[in-house]
Amino acid sequence: MLPSSTVENYLKAIYVGETHLVGGQKLVPMGQLASALGIAPGTATTMVKALAESGLVTYEPYNGVRLTPAGEKLAARVLRRHRLIELFLVQVMGMNWDEVHEDAEQMEHVVSDRLIERMDEMLGRPEFDPHGDPIPTPDGQLAHRALETLLTCPLNTPVTVARVTDQDAAFLRFIESHHLKPGETIQVEERDEASDSVKLKGRDDQRMTIGARAASKLLVST
Amino acid sequence: MLPSSTVENYLKAIYVGETHLVGGQKLVPMGQLASALGIAPGTATTMVKALAESGLVTYEPYNGVRLTPAGEKLAARVLRRHRLIELFLVQVMGMNWDEVHEDAEQMEHVVSDRLIERMDEMLGRPEFDPHGDPIPTPDGQLAHRALETLLTCPLNTPVTVARVTDQDAAFLRFIESHHLKPGETIQVEERDEASDSVKLKGRDDQRMTIGARAASKLLVST
DNA sequence: GCCACGGTTTTGAGTCATCAAAATAATAAA
DNA sequence: TTTATTATTTTGATGACTCAAAACCGTGGC
Ligand SMILES: [Mn+2]
Ligand SMILES: [Mn+2]
Ligand SMILES: [Mn+2]
Ligand SMILES: [Mn+2]
């Protein structure tokens, strides 16, 4: 039985949720899953039990859920499609990086393998999507990069923006308008705990100050 | 309420069904609708009653169904998307014309207006899809052409293939391999009632014989 | 060690889309 | 006109997916 869009969305959310877990944690709590999918907690519980029944996840009541190898394979496939489609929409269709998420969210479930393969080919087997998120390989491997946030990277040292971990359109437009998209080189000049902000030097030595919250969503390579 | 994929498919099938009706007929019978959608007749009846309830169709029990202006607007929109997507997949993505139907069938329900507009723009506001089917304009107008089938067009006169009215992949590949795609110029040399076949002269004066059934699916302009 | 609270699960219900098969209506044949 | 055939509608049921709200569990505070 091929998985429904709903099942694919659950698996993808669990997959992404697992990467967000800190430390040795391995289980995604139901509350987090429910809010990631925008559904009621009870619905998540019911669905996850069904997913466990079909061998795609392991479910520990009151603890959370984890993907089985079978579930992980499916999840990586969906995430690969999502990110390839996003990149395609930006690179080939000329759409803005803040408006491709919703299209990708739907298309990831319906386009044929053949079309995905054509996109991948046209894009030259890309490794990262427009937001710097890694694109899983066809066999489910995720490129791992050692990145730091603007809150932890070295001061007064050129760093390259590599990834933006927030899909919010307004935030993405802000990033773009301040030339902070992946690929741009910047420096962190100062961090101020009290004012909860970070001072940056960007393109053309342009100075700017952003909040710590925003700074934590900009990942850079040194 | 935005229409579900199911509703969109029903409306599209009724829309296309109406164009296939001969004479002054105006109602699409339930059986035809059901088989076009590949569902049980009883399901069609139930759904159509719901569509009538929401003002998208007019339903006459035991006679059939017809689109209201509201329903026709939605149906034309879906058909426009379907055919634009098909053309996009062929022209831009380099897919074959016999493998784009299924992708379009799904994508028509999910891609954003913005993306459709980009496709339309990239393709130069096309009027016909890869099969020669007219693409409804944004306001729902369908280009009408006076076409004849290979069963009725004049003999020994150059005619141009304009449209192929069968989405079956094997048939489309046959058409392609014999250089009978829309745009090709051919001549009908002879029709034989007894053998139920038609003799053609195609590209490079290549002779071929095809069955009447197939001939009726090739529409030409004189 | 009890209790309150936040997170989780259960319960009961509803929507949408579907089918198989029985009942019925329209139509063609005898 | 009766009968047989075919198309259509009704009926009863199922499977996914969802919610609201009640019940429940586990843990940290006191
Ligand atoms: Mn999705
Ligand atoms: Mn992305
Ligand atoms: Mn469709
Ligand atoms: Mn077509």
A124 touches strand C (CB under 7 A): no
Q: What end-to-end distance do the CA atoms of chain A give, in Å?
A: 46
Q: A91 by DSSP, 3-state: which?
A: helix
The CATH number given to whatever domain includes residue A195 is 2.30.30.90
| Beta strand extents in chain A (DSSP E only) | 57-60, 64-67, 148-149, 159-164, 185-192, 197-201, 207-211, 218-221
Query: Tokens 């954003």 sit at which residue?
Result: B112
Summarize pLDDT for B99-157 with one digit per residue, the tens: 999 999 999 999 999 999 999 999 999 999 999 999 999 999 999 999 999 999 999 99
Instruction: Name the nearest CA neighbour of B110 among A80, A129, A109, A9.
Output: A109
B39 touches strand C (CB under 7 A): yes
The encoded tokens of residue A13 equal 């959310």
Q: A75 by DSSP, 3-state: which?
A: helix
Does the structure show a pLDDT above 80 at A163? Answer: yes
Summarize pLDDT for A90-146 with one digit per residue, the tens: 999 999 999 999 999 999 999 999 999 999 999 999 999 999 999 999 999 999 999
Whole-number pLDDT of residue A31: 98
Is A97 in contact with A104 (CB distance < 8 Å)? no
Whole-number pLDDT of residue B121: 98
Number of Cβ pairs < 8 A linking chain A and chain B: 43
Q: Which residues pair with B65 in a beta bridge?
A: B28, B59
Whole-number pLDDT of residue A13: 98
The answer to whether residue A155 sits within a structural domain is: yes
List CB contacts (< 8 A) between B112 and chain A: 99, 102-103
Summarize pLDDT for A74-101 with one digit per residue, the tens: 999 999 999 999 999 999 999 999 999 9
Chosen for mutation from B9, B100, B103, B113 (greatest number of chain A CBs closer than 10 Å) is B103
CA to C1' distance (Å), from B29 to D1: 29
Whole-number pLDDT of residue B11: 98
The answer to whether residue B163 sits within a structural domain is: yes
| Rounded-to-integer distance, Cα B33 and Cα B66, Å | 11
| Number of folded domains that form chain B | 2
Contact across the interface for A107 and B112, Cβ inside 8 Å: no
Instruction: Name the nearest CA neighbour of B182 among B219, B140, B143, B144.
Output: B219
Contact across the interface for A118 and B93, Cβ inside 8 Å: yes
Contact across the interface for A122 and B89, Cβ inside 8 Å: no
Range of the domain at A58: 5-67
Of all helices (H) and strands (E), which one includes residue B200? strand B197-201
The answer to whether residue A117 sits within a structural domain is: no
- In angstroms, what separates the C-alpha of A76 from chain B's closest C-alpha? 21
Q: Can you list the residues of chain B whose pLDDT is less than 50?
A: none
Summarize pLDDT for A26-47 with one digit per residue, the tens: 899 999 999 999 999 999 999 9
The encoded tokens of residue A56 equal 């795609």
DSSP assignment string, A104-156: HHHHTTTS-HHHHHHHHHHTTS-SB-TTSPBPPPTT--------EETTTSPTT
Query: Cα–chain-centroid distance for residue B210?
Result: 21
Whole-number pLDDT of residue A210: 95
Instruction: Name the nearest CA neighbour of B20 among B155, B141, B193, B165.
Output: B165
Q: Which residue is nearest to nucleotide C7 (CA to C1')?
A: A31
| Rounded-to-integer distance, Cα A192 and Cα B38, Å | 65
Residue A101 burial (CB count, 10 A): 18
Domain boundary among A67, A94, A113: A67
Whole-number pLDDT of residue B139: 96
Of A107, A118, A122, the CB nearest to B111: A107
The answer to whether residue A180 sits within a structural domain is: yes
Of A92, A103, A112, the CB nearest to B111: A103
Domain boundary among A43, A67, A91: A67
Domain boundary among B18, B44, B67: B67
Query: Cα–chain-centroid distance for residue B105?
Result: 12
Whole-number pLDDT of residue A193: 86
Confidence of residue A183 (pLDDT cuts 50, 70, 90): very high
The answer to whether residue B95 sits within a structural domain is: no
Whole-number pLDDT of residue A72: 98
CA A114 to ligand 2 centroid distance, Å: 21
The answer to whether residue A135 sits within a structural domain is: no
Q: Which nucleotides of D are covered by protein (CB under 7 A)?
A: 7-12, 16-22, 25-26
Contact across the interface for B106 and A103, Cβ inside 8 Å: no
pTM of the model: 0.95
The CATH number given to whatever domain includes residue B14 is 1.10.10.10
Whole-number pLDDT of residue B1: 84
The answer to whether residue B177 sits within a structural domain is: yes
Does the structure show a pLDDT above 90 at A1? Answer: no
The answer to whether residue A15 sits within a structural domain is: yes
